[in-house]
Amino acid sequence: MNISGNRRQFLGMVGAAGAGMAVALRKAAGASRVLDSVPNDKPALLGGTPVHKGGWPQWPEWRQTWEPSVLDVLRSGKWYRGGGGHVADFEAAYARLIGVKRCLATASGTTALMVSLHAMDVDAGDEVIVSPFTFIATYNAILMGRALPVFADTDPETMTMDPASIESRITERTRAVMPVHIYGLPCDMDPIVAVSRKHQLAVIEDACQAWLAEYKGRKCGALGDLGCFSFQESKHLPSGEGGAITGNSDQLVDRCNAFHNCGRGVGTFKGPKPYFSRGGNYRMQHFQAVMLLQQIDKLTQDTVRRRENADHLSMNLKQIPGIQPVRLPENSRAVWHLYPFRYDATHFNGLPRERFIKALSAEGVPCSAGYQEQYFDGLLDEACESRGFKRLFSAQRLKAYRDSLKELKGNRQVCTTTVAMTQNHLLAERADINHIVEAIRKIQVHSADLAQA
Ligand SMILES: Cc1ncc(COP(=O)(O)O)c(C=O)c1O
């Protein structure tokens, strides 16, 4: 389907929106299945009938066939990971899946990040260059080690770390770069790794939303020194809570293992006495591991379906003036933990994004604005004003740091224009996916009414 030849015509028409416009729109756009079915009805927000009435697949999903192994763990009385068992089986299976030599299971994605930062020798008073467009746990993992999260800017087209913005942020304190494959969108890793290697910085991938995402033939989580994953309940591979660290270096993963297990030496990382090294308890339980082991095939199948539906959505949505699907780096494949697009209100009679979100939700397509400029929410002020940070960083550095948050123009653009749907939409039938496109077209046709009401 290609209606791009009619784009200008279409644009002219939506400026003077009205209910009768849908008919003209159909004629102008030619034979397009999704477009042909644009309802002439009033927007649901103004009392019309919602385009989509059937709901969306529930998440998380579980299967009765999983019950015996969960019960086996219960009855075994072996719940703590100790050595071997289900957790070790999961680690081996997940390492194979991601295409790395080693995997260490952890209690959560946050603890995977904290452990990795420690293993890469990020210490109190250091700086880590990180994506600002992420779940808050990414910032917190750095702050908990009393290091400073220094934000690279976000490329508005890819919604991930802009590699060109890294180098100017490097200081003598910088130890690591932490790209985030947010929403399952792979970062453009080649230039990120190149600039990190040039300055001898560690690369820790936050792949907490990117199970099976690919960049140039390799999986996210296998592209830096260490990769971190989350298996929290909303995730594509869920076990309530859970996480993993992936990597190809025995030394690094053994170091992670020791730190996640009260500092106990293991493999290549051993000392003269049992407690020769610091650590915490960031271990996974066997209950989590059996849940995860049984979902690996499902993850692979679900990923295929999400990709097919996301590709179909992008192909259709990019035909709508004012809707810009995300651009993926060359030769990469996303896994769509959320499906985001950028919204340009000027093509919708100035309908504010928040009202667009309400209107789309009313049409039966729940959506949200996604991550906001959370670096202004207070946690960084609180950190910078804490006794510890004041001891570790000069007043001058902390002031420059706080001032620099205002410079994240690309990120602001993403935060103020994005609309996103959760991954479970992408597991629906194709007819339901088409409803998303229809609903957005309907809102565009009626955007003047919606903007005024
Ligand atoms: C990008 C990102 N990083 C880190 C985390 C932290 O993972 P967890 O919730 O398992 O601690 C999450 C979880 O949502 C995440 O989405």
Per-residue pLDDT tens digits for 354-382: 999 999 999 999 999 999 999 999 999 99
3-state helix, strand, coil in the chain (%, to 5): 45, 15, 40
Neighbours of 41 (CB within 10 A): 16
Backbone phi, psi, residue 424, to 5°: -65, -25
The pLDDT of residue 167 is above 60: yes
Per-residue pLDDT at 439? 97
Per-residue pLDDT at 83? 73
The ligand 1 atom at the shortest distance from the C-alpha of residue 232 is: 10
Q: What percent of the chain has pLDDT over 90?
A: 90
380-430 pLDDT, tens digit each? 999 999 999 999 999 999 999 999 999 999 999 999 999 999 999 999 999
Residue 107 CA to ligand 1 center (angstroms) comes to: 11
131: DSSP letter: -
Residue type, 95: A
Give the model's confidence band at 37: pLDDT under 50 very low, under 70 low, under 90 confident, else very high: low
- Cβ contacts of residue 169 below 8 Å, gap of 6+? 129, 150, 151, 152
Per-residue pLDDT at 453? 82
Question: Which residues surround ligand 1 with Cβ inside 6 Å?
Answer: 108-110, 134-135, 137-138, 180, 182, 206, 208-209, 230, 232, 243
Per-residue pLDDT at 1? 28
CA distances from 420 to 114, 189, 323, 360 (A): 28, 24, 12, 11
Residue 111 CA to ligand 1 center (angstroms) comes to: 9
Residue 106 CA to ligand 1 center (angstroms) comes to: 12
Distance CA 140, CA 383 (A): 10
Return the residue whose CA atom lies nearest to atom 7 of ligand 1: 109
Residue 208 CA to ligand 1 center (angstroms) comes to: 5
